[in-house]
């Protein structure tokens, strides 16, 4: 595992001026806070920061305030906007400040581009960048040609046939986009072949996928489960390329995938560009949705919601478990509160608390439940405590209650261990049980 934060902060040398929307609600507060994390991850150093009323459709921010700032900051080299800009707003701000203007999406793309290692993720980023730049480049070109405000079709006769620079530009964009898409389709087909051959060879294996908000601890969990050395950092979007590793749970081989993290407030076309990779990563038997339990409850809930929404967009039909991570940083009382909070907002989803760095046993136990099952009839002297223990640790299929004996039909994935555990519990509670394989 490599922790490279110190190194990163030393390299954080690009200076920028940050313009944030004045936070009028909790969501904007959260997004502004996240913006500084994104800047740190992209190695920017903020020389000045301003919060401005976002009440102007042409420039996003109050024009009057922007002029004051322009005067105050003299000659900035880079201005970063803590929000998304329409192409028109982006170009207007560039013209106003006469310098490079980067919005939130642009910034995320920069981070992604710096992390991309494989041909596929590089192409996916190129495609997203092309879609982002296309309308902006067109506006810049129109500005240079003195066509501001006029749509090129309105002036089609102006350049003579085939000479219109806007038509040439559009044709170039279309060619580049289809070249990128074709190559991505080829790569996707190759991956599909790999996946099928893996499934054919390991048909009795279990496929698990780790997903969740960026920096929740996905790669740390992958490392702990498989004893590997994927890069881990508090920088956002440390992982970009999907990784598949495997580990053994006794006789059961488990394949586990770690992939790009999610974030709130990204345009769908970025998710679209990564869709095929995400689709493959999410095509697993179990989806582990990792959340950082050490964050304040409202952030934890917000990030869990974003993760589940993003997953739902891809719509995989598989079993989901919420894994609350970093519990080593929590007092028992706080953990209880966080668990309660998750349970009430996401009813029906099992929740497993872990510390990916050093305490993953509860998750292994949960994954192990997916082993093929063996069924038993379990008769026991009436005890509500024992009954609720069975509900927690086995799969109860049916139960009957007679005066002297209660009975359950249960199934166990690891019969030897399960029977031992039930007997041990019964002994502690001072009740009699009888187990019979059926």
Q: Site residues (CB under 6 A) for ligand GTP? A: 214-220, 232-234, 236-239, 261, 325-326, 328-329, 355-357
Q: Which is nearer to ligand GTP, 284 or 356 (CB)?
A: 356
Q: CB 57 → Mg ion: shortest distance, Å? A: 38
CA 67 and chain centroid, separation:
38
Nearest to 130 by CA among 56, 183, 93: 183
Q: CB 232 → ligand GTP: shortest distance, Å? A: 4
344 dihedral zone (left: phi>0; alpha: psi -120 to 50; beta): alpha
Q: CB 219 → ligand GTP: shortest distance, Å? A: 3
Q: Which listed range, 147-155, 158-166, 214-222, 342-350, lies at the site for Mg ion (CB under 5 A)?
A: 214-222
**Residue 420 dihedral angles phi and psi, to the nearest 5°:** -55, -45
Q: Which is nearer to Mg ion, 120 or 238 (CB)?
A: 238
30 binds, among Mg ion, ligand GTP, none (CB under 5 to 8 A by kind): none
- Residue in the shown chain whose Cβ atom is closest to ligand GTP: 261
Binding mask 353-392 for Mg ion (x = CB under 5 A): ----------------------------------------
DSSP of 200-247, one letter per residue?
Answer: HHTTT-EEEEEEEBTTSSHHHHHHHHHT----B-SSTT---S-EEEEE
Beta-carbon count within 10 A of 1 CB: 13
80 binds, among ligand GTP, Mg ion, none (CB under 5 to 8 A by kind): none
Q: Which is nearer to Mg ion, 184 or 232 (CB)?
A: 232
Q: Are 103 and 93 in contact (CB under 8 A)?
A: no
Helix (H) or strand (E) holding 257: strand 252-258
Beta-carbon count within 10 A of 399 CB: 14
Nearest to 61 by CA among 77, 39, 78, 83: 83
Site membership for Mg ion, residue 34 (CB under 5 A):
no
Q: Which is nearer to ligand GTP, 106 or 258 (CB)?
A: 258
Q: CB 230 → Mg ion: shortest distance, Å? A: 7
Q: Which is nearer to Mg ion, 66 or 323 (CB)?
A: 323
Q: CB 239 → ligand GTP: shortest distance, Å? A: 3
Which residue blocks in 292-411 are alpha helix, DSSP H?
A: 297-314, 332-345, 361-368, 384-393
Q: CB 261 → ligand GTP: shortest distance, Å? A: 3
Q: Are 330 and 359 in contact (CB under 8 A)?
A: no
Site membership for Mg ion, residue 325 (CB under 5 A):
no
- Of residues 120, 238, 280, 292, which one binds Mg ion by CB under 5 A? 238
């Amino acid at each position: 595992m490599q922790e490279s934060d110190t190194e990163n902060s030393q390299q954080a040398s690009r200076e920028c001026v940050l313009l944030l929307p004045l936070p009028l609600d909790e969501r904007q507060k959260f997004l502004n806070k996240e913006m500084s994390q994104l800047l740190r991850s992209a190695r920017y150093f903020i020389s000045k920061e301003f919060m401005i009323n976002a009440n102007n459709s042409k420039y996003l921010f109050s024009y009057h305030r922007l002029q004051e700032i322009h005067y105050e900051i003299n000659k900035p080299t880079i201005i970063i906007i803590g929000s998304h800009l329409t192409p028109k707003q982006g170009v207007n701000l560039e013209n106003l400040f006469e310098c490079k203007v980067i919005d939130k999406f642009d910034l995320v793309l920069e981070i992604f581009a710096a992390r991309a290692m494989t041909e596929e993720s590089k192409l996916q980023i190129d495609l997203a960048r092309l879609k982002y730049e296309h309308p902006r480049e067109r506006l810049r070109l129109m500005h240079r040609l003195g066509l501001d405000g006029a749509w090129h079709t309105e002036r089609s006769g102006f350049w003579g046939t085939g000479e219109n620079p806007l038509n040439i530009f559009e044709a170039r964009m279309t060619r580049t986009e289809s070249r990128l898409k074709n190559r991505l389709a080829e790569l996707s087909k190759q991956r599909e072949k790999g996946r099928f051959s893996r499934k054919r060879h390991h048909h009795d294996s279990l496929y698990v996928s780790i997903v969740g908000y960026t920096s929740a601890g996905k790669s740390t969990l992958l490392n702990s489960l498989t004893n590997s050395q994927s890069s881990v950092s508090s920088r956002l979007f440390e992982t970009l390329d999907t990784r598949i590793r495997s580990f053994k749970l006794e006789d059961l081989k488990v394949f586990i995938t770690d992939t790009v993290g999610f974030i709130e407030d990204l345009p769908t076309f970025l998710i679209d560009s990564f869709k095929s990779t995400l689709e493959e990563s999410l095509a697993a038997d179990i989806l582990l949705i990792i959340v950082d339990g050490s964050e304040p409850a409202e952030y934890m809930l917000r990030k869990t919601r974003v993760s589940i929404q993003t997953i739902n967009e891809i719509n995989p039909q598989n079993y989901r478990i919420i894994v609350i991570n970093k519990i080593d940083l929590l007092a028992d009382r706080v953990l209880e509160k966080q668990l309660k909070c998750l349970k009430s907002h996401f009813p029906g989803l099992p929740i497993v608390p872990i510390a990916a760095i050093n305490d993953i046993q509860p998750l292994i136990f949960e994954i192990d439940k997916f082993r093929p099952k063996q069924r038993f009839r379990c008769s026991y002297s009436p005890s509500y405590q024992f009954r609720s223990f069975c509900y927690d640790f086995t799969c109860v299929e049916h139960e009957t209650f007679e005066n002297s004996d209660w009975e359950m039909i249960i199934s166990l994935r690891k019969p030897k261990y399960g029977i031992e555990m039930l007997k041990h519990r019964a002994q502690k509670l001072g009740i009699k049980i009888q187990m019979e394989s059926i």
